[in-house]
Amino acid sequence: MLDLNDLPFYNPSQGEKIAIITGGHSGIGYYTTLHLYMHGFTVYICGRNSHKVHKSIKSIIDEATDRTNKLPNSMRRERLSYFGSIHYIHLDLTDLKSVERATVKIQRSVTHIDVLINNAGIMAVPYQLTKDGFETQLQTNYISHFLFTMRLLPLVKKKNGRIISLSSLGHLLEFHYWKLSKQWNIWPDIVFTWFRYAVSKTSLIQFTKMLSIKNPDVLCVSLHPGLVMNTNLFSYWTRLPLIGIFFWVLFQVIGFFFGVSNEQGSIASLKCALDENLSTEEDNGKYFTTGGAESKSSYIANNLDDAASTWIWTVHQLNDRGYSI
Ligand SMILES: NC(=O)c1ccc[n+]([C@@H]2O[C@H](COP(=O)([O-])OP(=O)(O)OC[C@H]3O[C@@H](n4cnc5c(N)ncnc54)[C@H](OP(=O)(O)O)[C@@H]3O)[C@@H](O)[C@H]2O)c1
């Protein structure tokens, strides 16, 4: 797996590098933020719970300091001088108004964006509609990130930044192109919730492909971070009364054989964010997997006609709710 020390370090005193990450305070996002911070970035964590995010910011800074203090003297001073900073922006992806407000706050706070990471997500939760009238997984994982990204795109374009979206291997469950208006509110929900997850994550890949075509100056990639079983993504299932213990054991077994750690799960995002060998000419629209290896998304996710349909549907839906794209 890629050694994160091989990725470039930036000295903040020689120019500010700015990263925006949704859900950068927990699970995979925690380590993505940690390493961006250690590599010299000013990181804005966008999350819905101020207390949780501030607690994580403190923990990330402490962890970065601890790790650096263990380095040999000669290296330590240099590495400490690379430390960036971390800030909090309120964002609730189930509420488009909150998404709009977060982007306005970011527009007022930064001059440009080097890296935008659409990391936050939920998986296989019960059927529910948001106050904007979208299925929760579709809005959290895809639609809100669409609006978030489109609003911040001018800032990303200022310095030919990068846009990275965390999709999932689970997108493969969409084996046929399903219109996004299809809600999959079908019994048994415990099965069809996975279809809804697959649609949201396929849409994110399609969005990335369309973005890369429309904006060839911005590196837009999507990825599957790996099977990372110790994050909160699985907590709905493991906290179910009685059968939760079964799912906990199941996920631990999967993790034991096929999983990677939370930190290893952040490597694909970090490679896409920092690797100078990636270029818009060669890599735009690509899909990566565990550890940053290049991979291939599903036939459905790769079909540009379907991607265009997804894009058009989303723009119409947002326009209907007063969010012009
Ligand atoms: N773990 C895996 O095996 C795996 C596999 C494939 C893809 N992924 C993807 O990787 C990404 C990170 O997942 P993870 O495993 O690190 O899980 P995680 O620890 O649960 O992280 C998900 C993050 O999303 C945030 N979030 C959820 N709903 C939100 C909302 N309405 N508004 C704002 N933020 C919200 C959570 O914030 P709160 O703390 O406030 O809940 C949390 O920070 C997700 O997109 C996931 O789909 C993970």
- The predicted-structure confidence for 134-170, as pLDDT tens digits, reads as follows 999 999 999 999 999 999 999 999 999 999 999 999 9
Give dist(CA 97, CA 99) in Å, integer: 5
- Catalytic status, residue 55: no
Instruction: Give me ligand 1 centre to Cα 92, in Å.
Output: 12
Would you say the CB of residue 204 lies under 6 angstroms from ligand 1? no
CB 152 within 8 A of CB 105: no
Domains and CATH numbers, the chain: 4-226+268-320 (3.40.50.720)
Instruction: Give me ligand 1 centre to Cα 233, in Å.
Output: 6
Band (pLDDT 50/70/90 cuts) for residue 1 is: confident
Q: What is the largest CA-CA distance in the chain?
A: 62
Q: Check pLDDT > 90 for residue 319.
A: yes
Which residue among 142, 177, 197, 287 is the active-site one?
A: 197
Would you say the CB of residue 28 lies under 6 angstroms from ligand 1? yes
Mean pLDDT for the chain overall: 97
The pLDDT score that the predictor gives to residue 30 is: 98
Give per-residue burial for 173-192: e unless 16+ CB within 10 Å, then b: bbeebbebeeebeeeeeeeb
Would you say the CB of residue 102 lies under 6 angstroms from ligand 1? no
Give dist(CA 52, CA 60) in Å, integer: 12
- Catalytic status, residue 74: no
CB atoms within 10 A of CB 302: 16
Which residue among 144, 167, 168, 269 is the active-site one?
A: 167
Question: Mutual orientation of helices 27-38 and 50-69 as an angle, nearest 10°?
Answer: 50
Would you say the CB of residue 47 lies under 6 angstroms from ligand 1? yes
Instruction: Give me ligand 1 centre to Cα 140, in Å.
Output: 10
Tokens for 140, please give them. 């959290």
Instruction: Give me ligand 1 centre to Cα 76, in Å.
Output: 32
Q: Check pLDDT > 90 for residue 16.
A: yes
The preferred substitution site among 88, 230, 232, 256 for testing ligand 1, maximizing ligand atoms within 8 Å of CB, is: 232
Instruction: Give me ligand 1 centre to Cα 14, in Å.
Output: 33
pLDDT digits (tens, 9 = 90+) for 46-64: 999 999 999 999 999 999 9
Instruction: Give me ligand 1 centre to Cα 166, in Å.
Output: 9
The pLDDT score that the predictor gives to residue 276 is: 97
pLDDT digits (tens, 9 = 90+) for 111-126: 999 999 999 999 999 9
Residue 141 CA: nearest ligand 1 atom is: 45
| Residue (of 63, 53, 60) closest to 25 by Cα position | 53
CB 264 within 8 A of CB 30: no
- Catalytic status, residue 201: yes
Would you say the CB of residue 92 lies under 6 angstroms from ligand 1? yes
Percent of the chain with pLDDT over 70: 100
Residue 23 CA: nearest ligand 1 atom is: 43
pLDDT (average), residues 233-238: 95
The pLDDT score that the predictor gives to residue 60 is: 98
The preferred substitution site among 20, 21, 22, 28 for testing ligand 1, maximizing ligand atoms within 8 Å of CB, is: 28
